[in-house]
Amino acid sequence: MPMKKIRVTSKELSIQRANFNPCPPDDVNDTQPIKPINEVDDIETTIDALRKKRAEIIKNMSEDGEPSNRCQVIDMTDGFKEHFGTEKEYSFPSEQSLAKYAVTKMTNQFGIDARNSKNFSLPPSHCTIATDVNQQTVVYEDITANLKIKLSDRKTTIVGTIQAIQMRYTYNVVFAAESKEALLAIENKYMKILEYNNYFQGKTLRFSSNGVVFIPCPHISLRDAVLPPKIIAEYKLNVLDFLDNVKYHEITKKRALLLYGPPGGGKTTSLKALFSLLRKKNITCMYLTDDTFKKHSLESIFDFINKYLAPCCIGFEDIDLIGEDRRNSRGIIGSLLSVLNGVEDYQKPVIIVGTTNRADILDDAVTRPCRFDRKLFIDFPTTQALRQMFKNLTGLTPPEVIKQSDDNNNKLTGAHIKEICNTAKILAIHKGANIIDCVEEAVAVIKESFYLASTITGFGTSKNYQEEHPGYSREIAPPCTEDSVLCDETCDDDPFER
């Protein structure tokens, strides 16, 4: 029976079949010579044998000529006189989706006919997987198909069988062929298809408790974070230049940066800006949070990253939630140390950027050299930096009220400036006034709503709360200096574009 290809449409999402660009014709480099099948009769004889076997099974499964719908697992790999087989098992959910995509692609390109691998009287079953933000793709799930493949020399043709089946916890893909050489060629073809059609590559992702999720790429530049020149230089050397220059990869496959400092200083903004830059270079970016490890171990996550995402940049937000000193926590510190060591053995480069407001509680083994290679302190912004942030957000010259306090217990941060700008815009619309005329009132509103960030306490809700909870106080940052500013008020360029 001819293979039935699937097409599903949706108004809400962009739906498409997993049948895109075919694999390059020279994508199989066989290490062993293939026994040629030059006689068409030999190929047709083999295929006929498989079809007869299928017809016999369907007949036995039917009662009174009616097909049965009961679920059965049928092994069709014995259709050859002399056969060889291999099986691949996928347990990670996102890995299963990649395998289904590759199986669909291979079957659409090389399949002769296809049936449901659980019940041969039915067509192949299918499911929907996410392949990008707001994009779904319909793929085969339970399927058995005969394969007829012409190799790169255009003279040698091999035949085989692919059988894929969704089990309770795993997705199994089985290949069979008449010889070991043919089996190797089919398996190589499948692996090339899997690699060539890896839809995770070059995307911005988040590892949630349910697996890999596509998220929109942030459109932020490092100019928005207004970082000191030293931080910019470290980003350029240990992230951008490192990923671009293969000579660095001969020294090490990993660079790890730890960003620490008071809340609201720009750590998350600078991480988003890095991701935005790397996305333009088609580098995969991945967010990891404490939610990531509710269902998956660190080892399994980094194994997936090594297989399918590298080269990539990994963002560990609030890494203190999993890397806290083992004397005070029963976290996953052992697994974290293990994966940080194991990245060195990867085949492709990986960048790790961790952020924390509490570097003081991180385990010393986490922050030592060769696990995190750079510790970058992001201080409270200076007056010049605050004014630059205001100009970036509004396009207006900042009034005198936008300035940093000399009092270490009354500091402004980038988070304050962003909310001051938002409040000023809302007040301007409400009053029918200019934004600049509402800035002073916006500052007063923010001071009333938030006890400003402190080098002693960080963000707080009130002085009374801190007096009632003395354990809340802790030193998290030294006083800021006027040297820690990226550029003056007239600078509108991205530092990496100059």
Domain ranges of the chain: 14-198, 207-377, 383-472
pLDDT in the model for residue 6 = 42
Question: Angle CA(80)–CA(124)–CA(97) in degrees, nearest 5?
Answer: 100
**What pairs with residue 231 in β-bridges?**
none
Q: Which of 24-28, 336-340, 378-382, 413-417 has the lowest mean pLDDT?
A: 24-28
Which residue shows structure tokens 């259709």?
Answer: 79
Examine the pLDDT at 149 and tell me if it is beyond 80: yes
Hey, is 61 helix, strand or coil? Answer: helix
Q: Residue 342 has which token pair?
A: 């194991």
Examine the pLDDT at 473 and tell me if it is beyond 60: no
More confident residue, 336 or 196: 196
Distances (CA, A) of 303 to 84, 140, 275, 345, 347: 29, 25, 21, 11, 12
pLDDT in the model for residue 229 = 87
Q: Residue 384 has which token pair?
A: 């010049």
Condensed to tens digits (0 to 9), the pLDDT of residues 292-311 reads 777 788 888 888 998 999 99
Condensed to tens digits (0 to 9), the pLDDT of residues 408-460 reads 667 888 889 999 999 999 999 999 999 999 999 999 888 887 755 554 444 44
Cβ atoms of residues 94 and 159 within 8 Å = no
**DSSP alpha helix (H) spans, 332-453:** 333-342, 364-367, 383-394, 414-431, 439-449
Examine the pLDDT at 484 and tell me if it is beyond 50: no
Condensed to tens digits (0 to 9), the pLDDT of residues 254-282 reads 899 999 988 888 888 889 999 999 988 99
Q: Please say whether the structural domain 14-198 has been given the CATH code 3.30.310.80.
A: yes
pLDDT in the model for residue 194 = 95
Examine the pLDDT at 353 and tell me if it is beyond 60: yes
pLDDT in the model for residue 451 = 58
Task: Using a cut of 0.75, tell me whether the model's pTM lies above it.
Answer: no
Share of the chain above pLDDT 70, in %: 72
Whole-angstrom Cα distance, residue 417 to residue 392?
11
Whole-angstrom Cα distance, residue 53 to residue 184?
24
Which among 267, 252, 337, 261 is positioned nearest to 302, based on CA atoms? Answer: 337
Query: How sure is the predictor about 343, in pLDDT bands with cuts at 50, 70 and 90?
Result: confident
Q: Which CATH class, in words, describes the domain spanning 207-377? A: alpha beta
DSSP 362: B
Cβ atoms of residues 386 and 417 within 8 Å = yes
Condensed to tens digits (0 to 9), the pLDDT of residues 151-167 reads 877 778 888 999 999 99
Query: How sure is the predictor about 29, in pLDDT bands with cuts at 50, 70 and 90?
Result: very low
Continuous segment of H or E residues that includes residue 90: strand 84-90
How many Cα atoms sit within 13 Å of 471 on the Cβ side?
Answer: 0
Average per-residue pLDDT in the chain? Answer: 77
Q: Under CATH, what is the fold of the domain 383-472?
A: Helicase, Ruva Protein; domain 3 (1.10.8)
Q: Residue 332 has which token pair?
A: 């996953």
